[in-house]
Chain A
Amino acid sequence: MFQFIVRRFLVAIPTLIVISFIIFALLDLAPGDPTGNLPLTIPPEVREKIRQSLGADDTFPVNYLKWARQFFVYEPIAWYEQATGNTVPGGENRTRILSWTTRSPVFDLIIQRLPQTLWVVGLAYVVGILIAVPVGIISAYRQYSIFDQLGTFISLLGFSVPTFFTGLLAIIIFSVYGGRTDWIPFLPSVYDTTLKVNSWSSFVAQVRQMIMPVMVLAFFNASQLSRFMRSSMLDNLSQDYVRTARSKGMVERTVVLGHVLRNSLIPVVTLIALGIPGIFGGAIITEQIFRVNGLGALLIEGINSADIPRVQTLTFIFAILIVFFNIIADIAYGFLDPRIRYD
């Protein structure tokens, strides 16, 4: 098992190098000029110097190696210095990856935006799982019942209707019509990041502004997961060991929740692990609808202002997350399922 883990991580390294190369090459073709947003009063020779300092005139391989050195060497050193307070010699030659628009390190921007994304999108993922698992269990256990048919229809609806429409519908219902009548409460449609939770009323405000984005995303996540949960339960319910357990006189509860559920959760857990990178990247749309200024919004702003270093770094981080959680899913599978042996 240990050997397998090490091998998987080693194989991931060339994959990530190729991906970083692809992302970098794509963005290197961009026509954006890092000095495009600067005032026109700057003399041309100064402008040329700024361009040089930002590395806009170097050839592609040089730029790529520079960026790779910044990402893999300079950034970790900077974090180490910040975390421990020690200084590593040679600091004056090291530049961190700087955003072209804000002139601050891209990783500082990411740290600023991460909490919003984790709170809203991460919570939606958790809520989605909490809805999907019981729904999947009941639908499978009572196959073809009304609950099952309704659940199947709603889940098909859930992943056919895109989040950018469910989100807008929720806004129409709760922000436009909400509050006009007594039975629809008003909910704010814009997520206020500056809100500090320090009292009961601000906590209520925070909950109110999180309900819509969390529910819209949770509905989408739950509808995908519940179908997998259902089919996984169905696969296991028809197995011989279930009949054995029942014939031993075991209580139905123990059979379903003890034996069948534990076995059916194995593929679902790996699926959940595979979906985690989506929390960071796939929520781009939801963040746009509710104006949550998380990582997705950071990326969209970067794209709209042609901020190449920011887009490169963010996209590459998304890629790292995907590769990393793929490995985690494989490992989880090996640990959870005794039938799977990697060596």
Chain B
Amino acid sequence: MSTATAKKIEAPESDSQWLETWRQFAKHKGAVAGMTVFFLIILMVIFGPMFYTVDPQYSDLLNRNQGPSLERPFGTDNLGRDLFAANLAGGRISLAVGVVSMLISIILGTAIGLAAGYFKRLDGPLMRLTDLFLALPLLPLLLVIIMLFRDSLRGTFGPELGIFFLIVFVIGITSWMNTARIVRGDVLAVKEREFVTAANALGSQNNRVMWLHILPNVLSPILVSATLGMANAIITESALSFLGLGFPPDFPTWGRLLFDGKDFMQLSPMRVVWPGVLISLVVLSVNFMGDGLRDALDPKIRSKG
């Protein structure tokens, strides 16, 4: 019976807490604008190809290097392929890479941060590991890893999925360090609070204390670093593709479209503008959302109004 009443009391409380956070978030004009733009782009990328049914691979050789027109909103490339369709298809991959690698990095960072903060014995080694990763020259290493494993993974998973797994994986395992540090710091602080002592005194297992009592209390920094991590992942993937070491030209992401377009800037300058604007808009809107989320979740700022 006691658990039932406890749940009843708990549920509305956590509800109102998130409602309050949302209200704070809605006050931040930049964050709301960012969220609107972000969801518009997501909707466009997901549902766009259903309405704009041009095949991005079909090459119309008579209409090469065309500028934007009513019929072809973004123009065509040097093989006569439709650029609006290519940007829609590329956006799906770019955003998928951003979301999945952000999830990997957040899960990894949270797990390592939780373990380091909660278990004293693991703290030293795990933080040394974090420092070590922070001292690695990441971009060169990413390039090297992709160069080395591109072909073998392509063989096992097929050209598109292989490179997707590879890029998502390498971005994920090279960007968890900041999350781990922030989570560890917060766990160290939360661990000393009374409710954790109480849970321990009641005989809760370590696992239960960690997942049920500590994790919910360090969720807000994790959310903030998730948004920033996503922006970072999208930029990293575009940078890799821009250096020619990302997705192959038949499955172009926004970064790859930039890379392919940069040799045709004299002929069709708008060709690099579209994917560039899309990348920048997504990253900017995600950064604004992160800003708003940080303000909304920070009780110090909130009390100031």
Distance in angstroms between the alpha carbons of A157 and B288 in the assembled complex: 10
In the assembled complex, A207 has its CB within 8 A of some CB on chain B: no
In the bound complex, do residue B287 and residue A30 qualify as a contact, i.e. CB atoms below 8 Å apart?
no
Distance in angstroms between the alpha carbons of A308 and B179 in the assembled complex: 33
Distance in angstroms between the alpha carbons of A275 and B244 in the assembled complex: 26
In the bound complex, do residue A165 and residue B280 qualify as a contact, i.e. CB atoms below 8 Å apart?
yes
Give the size category of A's interface with B. Answer: 35 or more
In the assembled complex, A54 has its CB within 8 A of some CB on chain B: no
Distance in angstroms between the alpha carbons of A80 and B287 in the assembled complex: 50
Q: With A19-B136, A23-B141 in contact, is A156–B148 under 8 Å at CB?
A: no
In the assembled complex, A282 has its CB within 8 A of some CB on chain B: yes
Distance in angstroms between the alpha carbons of A168 and B244 in the assembled complex: 16
In the assembled complex, B189 has its CB within 8 A of some CB on chain A: no
Q: Which of B134, B144, B245, B255 contacts A26 (CB 8 A)?
A: B144
Q: List 24 A-B contacts (CB under 8 A).
A: A26-B141, A26-B145, A30-B148, A31-B148, A156-B284, A156-B287, A161-B283, A161-B284, A162-B239, A162-B283, A165-B272, A165-B280, A168-B276, A169-B273, A171-B265, A172-B265, A176-B265, A176-B269, A289-B262, A303-B147, A303-B245, A318-B137, A319-B135, A319-B136
Main SS of chain A's interface residues? helix
Q: With A165-B258, A315-B144 in contact, is A322–B265 under 8 Å at CB?
A: no
In the bound complex, do residue A168 and residue B280 qualify as a contact, i.e. CB atoms below 8 Å apart?
no
> A25-64: contact bitstring with B at CB < 8 Å (1 yes, 0 no)?
0110111000000000000000000000000000000000
In the bound complex, do residue B272 and residue A285 qualify as a contact, i.e. CB atoms below 8 Å apart?
no
In the assembled complex, A187 has its CB within 8 A of some CB on chain B: no
In the assembled complex, B242 has its CB within 8 A of some CB on chain A: yes
B273 / chain A contacts, CB cutoff of 8 Å: 169, 172
> B263-288: contact bitstring with A at CB < 8 Å (1 yes, 0 no)?
00110010011001101100110011
For B241, the closest partner residue in chain A by CB is: A164
Interchain nearest-CB distance for B241 vs A (Å): 10
In the assembled complex, A284 has its CB within 8 A of some CB on chain B: yes
Distance in angstroms between the alpha carbons of A79 and B283 in the assembled complex: 46
B145 / chain A contacts, CB cutoff of 8 Å: 26
Q: Which of A164, A176, A281 contacts B137 (CB 8 A)?
A: A281
Distance in angstroms between the alpha carbons of A169 and B255 in the assembled complex: 14
In the bound complex, do residue B135 and residue A323 qualify as a contact, i.e. CB atoms below 8 Å apart?
yes
Interchain nearest-CB distance for B180 vs A (Å): 17
Q: Which of A156, A176, A299 contacts B140 (CB 8 A)?
A: A299
Q: With A157-B284, A162-B283, A168-B272 in contact, is A288–B243 under 8 Å at CB?
A: yes
In the bound complex, do residue A165 and residue B276 qualify as a contact, i.e. CB atoms below 8 Å apart?
yes
In the bound complex, do residue B279 and residue A318 qualify as a contact, i.e. CB atoms below 8 Å apart?
no
Distance in angstroms between the alpha carbons of A160 and B276 in the assembled complex: 11
Q: Which of B231, B243, B244, B272 contacts A172 (CB 8 A)?
A: B272
> A313-328: contact bitstring with B at CB < 8 Å (1 yes, 0 no)?
0110011001100100
> B123-157: contact bitstring with A at CB < 8 Å (1 yes, 0 no)?
00000000110111101110111011001000000
In the assembled complex, A195 has its CB within 8 A of some CB on chain B: no
In the assembled complex, B175 has its CB within 8 A of some CB on chain A: no
Q: Kindly list 10 other residue pairs between chains A and B, CB separation below 8 angstroms, not including A169-B276, A300-B243.
A: A23-B141, A26-B144, A156-B287, A156-B291, A162-B238, A164-B258, A165-B279, A168-B276, A311-B144, A315-B140
Q: Which of B231, B235, B244 is the most central at the interface, judged by chain A CB atoms within 10 Å of its CB? A: B235
In the assembled complex, A22 has its CB within 8 A of some CB on chain B: yes
A26 / chain B contacts, CB cutoff of 8 Å: 141, 144-145, 148
Q: Which of B140, B238, B269 contacts A284 (CB 8 A)?
A: B140
Size of the B side of the interface (Cβ < 8 Å), in residues, is 40
For A159, the closest partner residue in chain B by CB is: B287
In the bound complex, do residue A164 and residue B148 qualify as a contact, i.e. CB atoms below 8 Å apart?
no
For B288, the closest partner residue in chain A by CB is: A156
Q: Which 7 A-B pairs have the closest CB atoms?
A: A318-B137, A165-B276, A160-B284, A161-B280, A160-B283, A315-B140, A172-B269
Distance in angstroms between the alpha carbons of A342 and B177 in the assembled complex: 25
For A282, the closest partner residue in chain B by CB is: B139
Q: Which of A30, A168, A177, A318 contacts B258 (CB 8 A)?
A: A168
Distance in angstroms between the alpha carbons of A18 and B147 in the assembled complex: 22
Q: Which of B258, B276, B291 is the most central at the interface, judged by chain A CB atoms within 10 Å of its CB? A: B276
In A246-286, the 8 Å CB interface with B consists of: 277, 281-282, 284-285
In the assembled complex, A306 has its CB within 8 A of some CB on chain B: yes
For A163, the closest partner residue in chain B by CB is: B239
B139 / chain A contacts, CB cutoff of 8 Å: 281-282, 284
Distance in angstroms between the alpha carbons of A288 and B243 in the assembled complex: 8
In the assembled complex, A244 has its CB within 8 A of some CB on chain B: no
In the assembled complex, A193 has its CB within 8 A of some CB on chain B: no
In the bound complex, do residue A162 and residue B140 qualify as a contact, i.e. CB atoms below 8 Å apart?
no
In the bound complex, do residue B262 and residue A168 qualify as a contact, i.e. CB atoms below 8 Å apart?
yes
B147 / chain A contacts, CB cutoff of 8 Å: 30, 303-304, 306
Distance in angstroms between the alpha carbons of A200 and B186 in the assembled complex: 59
Interchain nearest-CB distance for A193 vs B (Å): 20
B144 / chain A contacts, CB cutoff of 8 Å: 26-27, 303, 311, 315
Distance in angstroms between the alpha carbons of A172 and B272 in the assembled complex: 9
In B236-252, the 8 Å CB interface with A consists of: 238-239, 242-245
For B269, the closest partner residue in chain A by CB is: A172
In the bound complex, do residue B266 and residue A176 qualify as a contact, i.e. CB atoms below 8 Å apart?
yes
Q: With A168-B258, A285-B243, A319-B137 in contact, is A162–B131 under 8 Å at CB?
A: no
In the assembled complex, A15 has its CB within 8 A of some CB on chain B: yes
A281 / chain B contacts, CB cutoff of 8 Å: 137, 139-140
A172 / chain B contacts, CB cutoff of 8 Å: 265, 269, 272-273
Distance in angstroms between the alpha carbons of A169 and B148 in the assembled complex: 32
